[in-house]
Structure 1
């Protein structure tokens, strides 16, 4: 399946991204790997739907690739010391949420599926944008007076807040399904 091959290639970008961020910190190459992986996430989904290759395996690989990308970005930025304390805590929330929701899915098995909140898309965009901004070299953007670090950290904190809100919804759904 072509779409699964694209997803596996995307997974292959995770380790180089982590190494670059951990060793060198934010930079254009790390940002290119991160954005490229995000673009390939869109591409593999379009390929799967367009070629009728949608499958349980492909969906699982896509989720794993998404979670590995977030983990690599957060871990690399943390190891290099590029996030302030509040943003570091927020970034850990982003990673922990993935494990909690996956655990809910395991616990529920075939009993019920978790329904995504409308905020989920906003949270995903904020998380991707915040981590992407954090990977940009922290020098001022040419021609502006905007320092990127505080903007990136603010967006990461916003993503974590949205994550907590959506996590409450997932928790309620899981508790209802497990209790019933």
Structure 2
């Protein structure tokens, strides 16, 4: 399946991304790996639907690839020490969320599929934008006095706040399903 091959290739980008961020911090090459992986996420989904290759295996691979990308970006930025305290805490929340939601899914087994929160897509956009901006090697927008790092950190913290909101909703769904 072509779409799964694209997803596997996308997974292969996470180790170089982590290495680049952990050893050199923000940089254009790391940002290119991050954005390329995000673009390939869109491509593999469109390919799967367009070629009729949608499958449970493909969906699982896509989720794993998404989580690995977030983990590589967060871990690389944390190892290099390029996130402020609030953004570092927010980034840890973003990574921890993946494990918590997976645990809810395991606890529910086949009883319930968690309904996606309306905050899920805004959280993803804020997270992707915040982590991406954290990889830009410039602190100021050229020709302006606009600093990127506070914007990046604010986006990561907002994404973490929405993550906590979505987690509360998923927890309620899980408790209801387990009690019923």
TM-score, length-scaled by structure 2: 0.99
Matched, 1:147 2:156: no
In 2, the alpha carbon distance for the partners of 1:6 and 1:179 equals 40
Corresponding residue for residue 63 of structure 2 = 63
Corresponding residue for residue 88 of structure 2 = 88
Query: Matches of residues 160-171 of structure 1 in structure 2 within 5 Å?
Result: 160-171=160-171
1:79-134 per-residue CA deviation (whole Å, 9 max, x = no partner) reads 00000111100000000001000111111111100000111100000000000000
Corresponding residue for residue 128 of structure 2 = 128
SS of corresponding position for 1:45 = helix
In 2, the alpha carbon distance for the partners of 1:178 and 1:3 equals 35
5+ long unaligned stretches in structure 2: none
1:51-75 per-residue CA deviation (whole Å, 9 max, x = no partner) reads 0000000000000000000000000
Corresponding residue for residue 2 of structure 1 = 2
5+ long unaligned stretches in structure 1: none
Once superposed, what is the RMSD of the aligned Cα atoms?
0.6
1:114-160 per-residue CA deviation (whole Å, 9 max, x = no partner) reads 00011110000000000000010133121121111111000000000
In 1, the alpha carbon distance for the partners of 2:50 and 2:179 equals 39
- Tell me the CA shift for residue 19 of structure 1: 0.2
Corresponding residue for residue 72 of structure 2 = 72
In 2, the alpha carbon distance for the partners of 1:167 and 1:68 equals 19
In 2, the alpha carbon distance for the partners of 1:111 and 1:122 equals 27
SS of corresponding position for 2:123 = helix
In 1, the alpha carbon distance for the partners of 2:72 and 2:100 equals 18
After the TM superposition, which parts of structure 1 deviate over 2 Å for at least 4 consecutive aligned residues? none
In 2, the alpha carbon distance for the partners of 1:175 and 1:165 equals 16
TM-score, length-scaled by structure 1: 0.99
Query: Matches of residues 28-43 of structure 1 in structure 2 within 5 Å?
Result: 28-43=28-43
Corresponding residue for residue 12 of structure 1 = 12
